[in-house]
Amino acid sequence: KLAKLVDQKPMVVDKLQDKKIPYATLCKTFALIESTTKRLEILEHITNLFRSVVEATDGDAKTLLQILYLCINKLCPDYEGLELGIGESLLMKAITESTGRTLAQIRKEYHESGDLGTVAKNSRSAQKTLFASKPLSAQQVYSTLKEIAQITGGSSQAKKVGKIKGLLVACREDEAKYLIRQLEGKLRIGLAEKTVLAALAQSVTIFKSRDKKAKSLEQQLASAVDVVKAVYSEIPSYDLIVPALFEYPVEKLAEVCKMTPGIPIKPMLAHPTKSLTEVLDRFEGHTFSCEFKYDGERAQIHRLADGKTFIYSRNSENMSQRYPDIIDKLPKANSKTSFVLDCEAVAWDKVKQCLLPFQVLSTRKRKDVKEEEITVQVCVYAFDCLFYDGKPLLKEPFATRRSILHQYFNEVQGEFSFARNIDTTQIDDIQHFLDTSIEENCEGLMVKMLDGEESTYEPSKRSRNWLKVKKDYLTGIGDSLDLVVIGAFHGRGKRTAVYGAYLLACYDPDREEYQTITKIGTGFSDEALSTHYTFFKDHVIDGPKRYYAVGDNGIKPDVWFEPVQVWEVLAADLSISPRYQAAVGIVDGSKGISLRFPRFIRVRDDKKPEHATSSEQVAEFYNRQMSFKAKDGGAGGDA
Ligand code: ATP
């Protein structure tokens, strides 16, 4: 496959003036990617686009960076917090005003297609224009999108509409469709991050070795892809990686793009388990440690060499404004040098000197928290040290990272503690430790590999070297699921004034779609039902989004919603079902997986819809359940 890529000529880009890349070239690639689900084909299309851009601009890193951001529908790294996500009503206004159609027409078509992009495209092509505008360049689209995202303050809506109209009138063919989707922040063409990284590595490597023989190039490509993926996991910033890739040989990339305080890494995640015996089976013959699994919010704390401190969430959002108190008190734990700590911020009852559940923490504002107004106190539980005194520690064994943490930081009662741990292989001791963790308001245990190669820190990976054991696991399917609310059913009887049940979906990051998994009507208090109704009635949309996988015979709710909220849900069982689409194609060719007896637990507002339980995880839960049933001599699902 790589050889084929090398032999291929990049598509010819009709350059506009000043090395400008036509936006139409990108849109052609988007359409090609959208038309297939084959990973390798997608990789070829995106590599071809990047190669063409690099050739046409004679290796201009800035242009490639902008094009890459357009492909992944972002404007900058996540931690900078600049996002698109323009609301539908604003976009409809811009489409109406720039195409001369009525709002009623736009709404009707949107209801039919579920895609405002397609509505914009059709509206543009139905429009007769006397003078053709200059073609849009990709660079111009990128900078205008950035300007739009930065507009704040008085009459910002009108200013945004003005800029959107300016772009729309210049759109031809598919451009309006993709432009509107980008403005919504919902391009969703089925382009996975790992594919973008591979395309980036390949296109720049091919460009830099233009005169060399293809044979050696093949090996170079494979290793360049590995290097770029590894570097990105330590320093997830295209702003730094793209220019460095042009400037330095790829073998040097890991040296110049090293983990740096101030740039959050994607956190390591844990695998769920269903029993302590499963944990012991996995870790047999290894040393491991059991820690309390605190019930708070993940906090990656970065202290820079100049003393500035930043706190990042599980999703790499900058949370420093939410926790001024942590930043203020941190010097008591360590005031000496730069570091990155992986921690859980947990609500703390100062009077009773005990931990409080996550629900209490979630009442704290997300931004602009003033220290004097704080009512919910927070204690930081540090469980890992990823960088200390100028040195990245990711590749060190956990035992080393933990002893650095314990050696160089001081515990401060109610403010900064180390995660409680025991290092034992005795199941009775572990069971007792698990019970204690629950008594102390924790969720259960995290069990971690302590020594050797398998105990390094694996950014962004849900690793088998970290297992979680939750109290709820021991019944039900092994873990709770975090699912996206995409629709609702009108309530009856006592519930007539609210939605009576909801439709939930998991997320497939490769296909970039939400797949239906269950209808849920249990676990809600009257108060919760009314809160959800008030929240969701403002997010009703005319029909299902084009990236909602519902299936032809699927369950259809009475109302559809924007994907805006994630719910934690417990279930008794998983089964194969023709009426749902979760993990379709993984366990069964046409049927999906559904939940039996789902129960609402809580809203997870620390998770974005894209961070919901993935289709792959759902399939894994199902397979594990089946293997447990097989062991118990039970039968399969109820397909
Ligand atoms: P959930 O939080 O529902 O378990 P998740 O997908 O957010 O799911 P997991 O990988 O499943 O994350 O569980 C790990 C989470 O548990 C971490 O993100 C962290 O916030 C929290 N946590 C609490 N205590 C610890 C600990 N001692 N070590 C690692 N993570 C911990």
- For ligand 1, atom 16, the nearest C-alpha belongs to 293
82 C-alpha to ligand 1 centroid (Å): 26
Instruction: Say if ligand 1 is within 6 A of residue 467 CB.
Output: no
Instruction: Say if ligand 1 is within 6 A of residue 344 CB.
Output: yes
pLDDT tens digits for range 102-148:
999 998 888 888 889 999 998 887 766 666 778 899 999 999 999 99
For 396-465, give the secondary structure using H, E and C.
CCHHHHHHHHHHHCCCECCCEEECCEECCCCHHHHHHHHHHHHHCCCCEEEEEECCCHHHCCCCCCEEEE
Q: Name the residue of 343, 455, 468, 618 whose CB sits within 8 Å of the most ligand 1 atoms, as the mutation to test its pocket.
A: 468
Instruction: Give me the residues paired with residue 566 across strands.
Output: 484
Residue 277's pLDDT band, with cuts at 50, 70 and 90, is confident
Instruction: Say if ligand 1 is within 6 A of residue 69 CB.
Output: no
The stretch 386-394 carries a mean pLDDT of 96
State how far the Cα of 116 lies from the Cα of 334, in Å rounded to an integer: 52
Helices (H) and strands (E) in the chain, counts: 21, 22
pLDDT at 346: 96
pLDDT at 375: 84
Task: Write the CA distances from 420 to 377, 410, 431, 473, integer angstroms.
Answer: 20, 14, 15, 21
State how far the Cα of 246 lies from the Cα of 61, in Å rounded to an integer: 7
pLDDT at 423: 94
Which is the closest atom of ligand 1 to the Cα of 443?
Answer: 23
Q: Name which residue leads in pLDDT, 366 or 273.
A: 273
Instruction: Quickly count: other Cβ atoms within 10 Å of residue 20's Cβ.
Output: 18
* 587 and 570 Cβ atoms separated by less than 8 Å: no
Three-class DSSP category at 497: coil
Closest CA to 270 of 83, 98, 479, 572: 479
Residue given tokens 């001081």 in the structure block: 410
CA angle 13, 14, 15 (to 5 degrees): 95
pLDDT tens digits for range 286-338:
999 999 999 999 999 999 999 999 999 998 999 999 999 999 999 999 999 99
Instruction: Say if ligand 1 is within 6 A of residue 483 CB.
Output: no
Closest CA to 91 of 81, 83, 82, 103: 103
Three-class DSSP category at 538: helix
pLDDT at 214: 54
Spacing of C-alpha 451 from chain mean position: 30
**E strand or H helix at 269, and its extent?**
strand 269-272
**E strand or H helix at 43, and its extent?**
helix 39-56
* 20 and 141 Cβ atoms separated by less than 8 Å: no
**Is it the case that residue 2 has pLDDT exceeding 60?**
no
**Is it the case that residue 3 has pLDDT exceeding 50?**
no
**E strand or H helix at 622, and its extent?**
helix 615-631
Which is the closest atom of ligand 1 to the Cα of 568?
Answer: 3
Residue given tokens 């602009």 in the structure block: 368
Q: Name the residue of 273, 290, 297, 298 whose CB sits within 8 Å of the most ligand 1 atoms, as the mutation to test its pocket.
A: 298
**Is it the case that residue 639 has pLDDT exceeding 50?**
no
The fraction of the chain above a pLDDT of 70, given in percent, is 93
pLDDT at 472: 65
Which is the closest atom of ligand 1 to the Cα of 604?
Answer: 3
The stretch 495-501 carries a mean pLDDT of 90
Which is the closest atom of ligand 1 to the Cα of 268?
Answer: 10
**Is it the case that residue 471 has pLDDT exceeding 80?**
no
Catalytic hit among 74, 160, 266, 293: 293
Residue 7's pLDDT band, with cuts at 50, 70 and 90, is low
pLDDT tens digits for range 592-605:
999 999 999 999 98
**Is it the case that residue 496 has pLDDT exceeding 60?**
yes
CB contact set of 29 (below 8 Å; sequence gap of 6+): 45, 46, 48, 49, 71
Q: What is the ipTM of this complex?
A: 0.95
Instruction: Say if ligand 1 is within 6 A of residue 314 CB.
Output: yes
For 245-261, give the secondary structure using H, E and C.
HHHCCHHHHHHHCCCCC
Instruction: Quickly count: other Cβ atoms within 10 Å of residue 603's Cβ.
Output: 18
pLDDT at 510: 85
Q: Is 104 exposed, middle or buried (0-12, 13-18, 19+ CB in 10 A)?
A: exposed
Residue given tokens 């609310």 in the structure block: 485
CB contact set of 199 (below 8 Å; sequence gap of 6+): 43, 46, 47, 49, 50
pLDDT tens digits for range 391-434:
999 999 999 999 999 999 999 999 999 999 999 988 899 999 99
pLDDT tens digits for range 211-247:
665 557 777 888 899 999 999 999 999 999 999 999 9
- The DSSP code for 613 is P
The helix, strand and coil proportions of the chain, stated in percent and rounded to the nearest 5, come to: 40, 20, 35
Residue 634's pLDDT band, with cuts at 50, 70 and 90, is very low
Residue 454's pLDDT band, with cuts at 50, 70 and 90, is very high
Does the annotation count 293 as an active-site position?
A: yes
Instruction: Say if ligand 1 is within 6 A of residue 479 CB.
Output: no
The fraction of the chain above a pLDDT of 90, given in percent, is 65
269 C-alpha to ligand 1 centroid (Å): 7
pLDDT tens digits for range 57-99:
989 999 999 999 999 999 999 899 898 889 888 999 999 998 8
Instruction: Say if ligand 1 is within 6 A of residue 178 CB.
Output: no
